[in-house]
Structure 1
Amino acid sequence: MMSIRKPYLSGHFAPVVDEITGYDLAVRGTLPPELNGRYIRNGHNPRPGDVPGHWFRGSGMLHGIRLREGRAEWYRNRWVRTPAPAGAPLVREDGTADPTASIAGTHIVEHGGRLLALQEGNLPFEVTRELHTVGPYDFAGRLTTGMTAHPKRDPVTGELHFFGCSPFPPYLTYYVASAPGRITRAEVIPGAGPSFMHDFGLTEHHVVWLDLPVVFNPAERSGIPYRWSDSYAPRIGVLPRTGPAAVTWFDVRAGALLHVENAYQDARGRIVLEGPRFDRSSWESSWKWWVGAPGHPDTPLIGAVRHRWILDPVSGVSGEEELDELVTDFPTIDARRLGRPHRFGYAIAFPGGGLHEHAIVKYDGATGERRIAGLGPDRMPGEAVFVPAEDGTAEDDGYLLTMVGDLSGHASELLVLDARDITAAPLAVVRLPRRVPAGMHGSWFPDHT
């Protein structure tokens, strides 16, 4: 009965109980023949009998679709096999935490020829392109903390920037891995605190840290020991990518940020950071859903709205503004614009802010236009991943890939949208051989990488 009461274990969020493989998937429309590769999405899928205390604590499961030459060759789903399949913390014989005790259920990325399933409290887990688990990966012993689920690859240098955070000192460690995958920088960041840092920003010349007022609190028993604190001074830090670890901290209004859309320098040299911001009320309402607390809302996300912070390293002055009233999260851009000014951003919209159903939204920073692609009542899209067109010239010449499911939990599809006009009918719809629960983050892995 307990599992029925948890919103993240019912309907579209209910876990699947087994692993399957399906071949020669049915396609409506036409798959662009240049999409040769795999779309793999990660998410939390507790094993049968497991009832985690938090949505984010379910065992990681990968869902993959192989596209080649206009066909959808296969779908498969596999749990990431880790020492903590139920998300339970494991401890070594000496009493220290086991860095391999990951649920590996938040994201999947590729770097240095390795696919890494990520969950920020622990080491990443390497998997194959067929979704088989290889094992924990510590960058040849150089990674001595957990690894954020949101590393950033510089599109020019090929370097991977990431961090490990902890509720105990040292709170924040910054890493850089070369394009081949060797860690070349590992440095403790001074002045950081025990905040819930899920994501960060990277510009061409700076790293942007989010030291915001969701902080470690051992009284929180859900399995994610963090709570909002009115007494914690919210700050955003700016660190030059070269030179010593000297952070300039900017005081900002109290707010929380799970996911960064992008960070960049504007023409005046100021640091601009954009992403969906929670205030205290929206964070605590969303948290109720995430833990299945009494009185939780009907949707997993309440009140997060697109926001911009502007930080001036010369004057030390910061400013911020709300950009839109829609409730959104899971923001994405063309990864080739990461750390540089971008024109187009994409996000998943949730009911609220005048919208009554889930949708995909596209923002045009040049014109201020907002376009909304509704998918029909009781249908929920996942994160929309941008894949550039082979011969594209404009920033939005490409495709959006997203898994869409019925909120009733009956069926799922992979949609391929034209990113230039997301309101047009999908270019292709791949019918999946099973229901895919709502998940977290995913990536497109083209065959040539």
Structure 2
Amino acid sequence: MQPWHSDNPALAQAFAPVFDERDDTDLQVDGELPAGLNGVFMRNGPNPQFEPVPGYAYPYDGTGMVHALHLDAGRARYRNRWVLTRELQEERLAGRRIYNPTFGPPPQANLANANVLRHAGRIYALYEGGCPYEMDGALATLGPETFQGRLTGACSAHPKVDPATGEMLAVNYDLIAGTLEYMRVNAHGQVDRQVQFASPWPALVHDIGLTATHVVAFVCPLVFDFSRGPAAPAWEPQRGTRVLLIPRDCADPAQIQWIEADPFFNWHIANAHADGAVIEAVMPWHDGYGPGARKRLELHRVRIDTASGRVQDQMLDDQPCEFGRVNDAWLGRRTRYCYVGLRDPRPGETPQPGAFEAFARYDLDTGAKTVFRLPAGQTACEPVFAADPPGAGEADGYILSFVHAANDPGGLFIVLDARDLAAGPVARVRLPRRVPAGLHGSWMPTPAYGADQPRR
């Protein structure tokens, strides 16, 4: 792979791509990896192999590269691979970039760059502009996944897997047609619910929340009107935000409930749960998005009364944050703790959008906030929770992340105790080459018998 350099800020510093596919074993560990924490942490993100044309914008562009950090009995090894999409294979044959950035003219590619997760024993690299790509445990690309031909358009990049039922649930969107699609994939990997319906306007729905009975999402007033040009979104707050409530067993669009709310924008929902007729969702919350619109980024609690149609919006913290996560074993249930990437720039440093200087844990019962701040020059991305095998409580586990250090050709992987976040890493794994900032990832414990089957 021929290295190249770009002055585009979206391809510099923490976002500068890497050009090699590696297999590194017996990595140096500072501290001690927790006993029993055996499995693989995988994280996806944009990593263009060929230099893009002007207009490249993070995080919307760049073919996906999955980075995997395997932990086994206190030892660590690293592997990374590009997701071999059809479009990347075409570009490799041509020896140059063929496909244009997302917000440019056609053609565009399925980048498979936003997320990586395991469901029903299979690993998927996900991108909401196309179908998932299946990968094996060694990160070899097995091919596109259409779920026995049931998926005919794009799939959400951020489905959620219910830990109680094993179901994978998603809301897919089509900006050209202005439609949404509810899709439920059962614990065995088969689509058993698929309902298409009109969106109030062409809008992206990146993430969803689960309850025992509903999927909740927000259609925000970032409007994609293609009469204005290729994929030109505009912030139109006069439309408000629409709360989308889909019964988990939905078979007809008439069963879907819409509730009007004041305008806001969200990328992610940390978690949701139901308390009687009220659904509560905790999320990083933007008061606007797009050129000239984005001002505040905060952590909020949104309470939706499904009986009265009232929506209450409560700010939990005004410090900018993103990538909210919880212990995935508690998805869809009431959670006490939420973990985020926190903007906490050090004096004299220029923050780089999309990377975080700290992690925070919020106690949603007491309001307490615990922060671990990375050393100067270091940034991280999404905090992924890995359960502590001997533990049984919601907080019993670890926060995992790759770390980028400015001006350092090497990389880091850190393990923080979720019960004592401020204490700093219990272990640092030193990588011989840095890992660029990226998007979403998953902790995949070494499968035991029935590990991918539902709990009940």
Fold in common (TM above 0.5) = yes
Mapped to 2, the partners of 1:237 and 1:11 lie a distance apart of 38
CA contact (8 A) 2:209 2:216 kept: yes
Q: Mean Cα displacement is larger for which, 357-366 or 3-12?
A: 3-12
Partner of 1:295: none
> 216, 230, 233: which is aligned to 2:237?
230
Partner of 2:84: 81
CA deviation string 1:167-202 (max 9, x = no partner): 133610111111010000111134543112111221
| Counterparts of residues 264-413 of structure 1 (less than 5 Å) | 264-266=273-275, 268-280=276-288, 283-284=290-291, 303-351=296-344, 358-408=357-407, 410-413=409-412
Partner of 1:27: 29
- Alpha-carbon deviation of 1:166? 0.6
Q: Could you say what secondary structure the match of 2:318 adopts?
A: strand
Mapped to 2, the partners of 1:352 and 1:23 lie a distance apart of 33
Q: Mean Cα displacement is larger for which, 125-134 or 248-257?
A: 248-257
Q: Mean Cα displacement is larger for which, 223-232 or 160-169?
A: 223-232
- Counterpart residue type for residue 126 of structure 2: L
Q: Percent identity?
A: 35
> 45, 67, 73: which is aligned to 1:43?
45
Partner of 2:261: 252
Mapped to 1, the partners of 2:281 and 2:12 lie a distance apart of 35
CA contact (8 A) 2:135 2:141 kept: yes
Given the alignment of the two structures, is residue 110 of structure 1 paired with residue 118 of structure 2, yes or no?
yes
Partner of 1:166: 174
Judged with a 3 Å threshold, the aligned counterparts in structure 2 of structure 1 residues 224 and 5 are, in CA distance, closer, same or farther, namely: farther
Mapped to 2, the partners of 1:427 and 1:284 lie a distance apart of 41
Judged with a 3 Å threshold, the aligned counterparts in structure 2 of structure 1 residues 181 and 372 are, in CA distance, closer, same or farther, namely: same
CA-atom RMSD in angstroms: 2.6
Partner of 2:135: 127
CA contact (8 A) 2:99 2:107 kept: no
Given the alignment of the two structures, is residue 54 of structure 1 paired with residue 57 of structure 2, yes or no?
yes
Q: Mean Cα displacement is larger for which, 227-236 or 353-362?
A: 353-362
CA contact (8 A) 1:14 1:409 kept: no
Q: Could you say what secondary structure the match of 1:315 adopts?
A: coil
TM (norm. structure 2) is: 0.87
Partner of 2:192: 184
Gaps in structure 2 of 5+ consecutive residues: 89-96, 452-456
CA contact (8 A) 1:75 1:433 kept: no
- Counterpart residue type for residue 270 of structure 2: E
Partner of 1:93: none
- Counterpart residue type for residue 172 of structure 1: L
TM (norm. structure 1) is: 0.88
Mapped to 1, the partners of 2:410 and 2:98 lie a distance apart of 27
Given the alignment of the two structures, is residue 139 of structure 1 paired with residue 141 of structure 2, yes or no?
no
- Alpha-carbon deviation of 1:5? 3.4
CA contact (8 A) 1:167 1:194 kept: yes
Equivalenced residue count is 423
- Counterpart residue type for residue 67 of structure 2: H
Judged with a 3 Å threshold, the aligned counterparts in structure 2 of structure 1 residues 225 and 132 are, in CA distance, closer, same or farther, namely: farther
Judged with a 3 Å threshold, the aligned counterparts in structure 2 of structure 1 residues 263 and 443 are, in CA distance, closer, same or farther, namely: same
- Alpha-carbon deviation of 1:248? 2.1
Mapped to 2, the partners of 1:286 and 1:58 lie a distance apart of 25
Given the alignment of the two structures, is residue 240 of structure 1 paired with residue 247 of structure 2, yes or no?
yes
CA contact (8 A) 2:178 2:202 kept: no
- Alpha-carbon deviation of 1:215? 1.6
CA contact (8 A) 1:119 1:149 kept: yes
CA contact (8 A) 1:220 1:227 kept: no
- Alpha-carbon deviation of 1:225? 4.1
Mapped to 2, the partners of 1:107 and 1:285 lie a distance apart of 28
